[in-house]
Amino acid sequence: MAAAIIDGRAVAARVRENLKEEVAAFHAKTGIQPGLATVLVGEDPASEVYVASKRRSSVAAGMADLHQHLPADTSQADVERLLRELAADPAVSGILLQLPVPAHLDPAPLIELIPFEKDVDGLTTQSVGLLAQKKPGLRPCTPSGVIELLDAYDVPFEGANVVVIGRSELVGRPVAQLLVNRNATVTIAHSRTRDLAAVCRTADVIVAAVGVKGLVTADFVKPGATVIDVGIHRGPEGLSGDVDFAGVSEVAGLITPVPGGVGPMTIAMLLSNTLRAAELQYQLAQQ
């Protein structure tokens, strides 16, 4: 029997509609309009498309677009100066440094200049620590989007076996921690894992964040399991994921497509983080 499809576009649209109302209510209550400062250095075409989409979506949610574009040859010191200014600016709720930055820049110290309460990507050491300690903070967008999709489809992952394939700082590790914090029994698999297919067959839920096109095939999947595909691959035939969708959907119970699964959730969760950031700063200012 073919798996039911998780409709990421519909869930993301719902999240964005709800956010619009929450942003309006927060603005009315506090007089603060949440503002997102996207920072783009250089002219990388893919980054320009991503940033334009984030800016459009934030405006559609009722937020201020505080975009900053720096030329490709901007020095490390000048990017640092801008990030410090944004960190100190009360109109800026969230700061997003679009990655990758040009090769002459070192992204790690730049990211660390973003204060935890404005870190809408959830990538600073402090945000990672807050997640690890289950303390309030901003969580990375794509991993949060995975949890939101599982919740939207009432996938009972508490106590269940979840295999996350991938241990990157951007996706694998944070999604595993979010799942553990929600009481899943999590296995993190990676390129050194022995017999990945056998490990995956123990899973009630598989989250594939590998970056290898079509790696997860039907023989990885326990009948009826939920399969979440984070991977994105661009080919002549369009977008595809880390999961062999045609084969796996014959075995799985629920599955995300690519495109239209996890992808649309990332920007929705960025907007959600920007509002949470504004709320967090408001709370901190009241203390």
At closest approach, how far in Å is the CB of 251 from ligand NAP?
A: 19
Nearer to ligand NAP, 51 or 82 (CB): 51
Catalytic residue among 7, 119, 121, 244: 121
| For ligand NAP, the closer CB: 36 or 206 | 206
Output the smallest distance, CB 233 to ligand NAP, in A: 6
Contact 70, 94 (CB under 8 A): no
Structure tokens belonging to residue 47: 């980054």
Q: For this structure, is 54 an active site residue? A: yes
Nearest one of 246, 223, 123, 228 to 165, comparing CA atoms? 228
Which burial class, exposed, middle or buried, applies to 12 when counting CB atoms under 10 A from its CB (0-12, 13-18, 19+)? buried
CB of 212 to ligand NAP, least distance (A): 5
Give the span between the Cα atoms of 7 and 149, in whole angstroms.
8
Contact set with ligand NAP (CB under 6 A): 142, 165-168, 170-172, 189-193, 196, 209-212, 215, 230-232, 262-263, 266
Find the residue with minimal CB distance to ligand NAP: 168
What's the rounded Cα separation, in Å, for the pair 69 and 48?
A: 10
With respect to ligand NAP, which residue has the nearer C-beta, 107 or 115? 107
Q: Which tokens in the block code for residue 171? A: 């996706």
Q: What are phi and psi of 99, to 5 degrees?
A: -105, 150
Q: Closer to ligand NAP at the Cβ: 165 or 255?
A: 165
Contacts of 52 (CB under 8 A, 6+ apart): none
3-state secondary structure (DSSP) of residue 192: coil
Choose among 273, 234, 226: nearest CA to 251.
Answer: 226
Residue type, 163: V
Tell me whether residue 121 is one of the annotated catalytic residues: yes
Answer whether 165's CB lies under 8 Å from 208's CB. Answer: yes
- Residue 150 or 215: which CB sits closer to ligand NAP? 215
From the list 54, 119, 204, 229, the catalytic residue is 54
Query: Which residues, other chains included, contact 169 with Cβ-Cβ below 8 Å and sequence gap of 6+?
Result: 123, 128
Q: Which residues of 122-142 are buried (b: 16+ CB within 10 A; e: fewer)?
A: bbbebbbebbeeeeebbbbbb
- Would you call the peptide bond into 174 cis, given omega within 30 degrees of 0 as the criterion? no
Rounded least distance, CB 189 to ligand NAP, Å: 6
Closest to ligand NAP by CB, 172 vs 253, is 172
CB of 193 to ligand NAP, least distance (A): 6
Cβ 218 to ligand NAP shortest distance, Å: 17
Could you list the active site residues?
Answer: 54, 98, 121
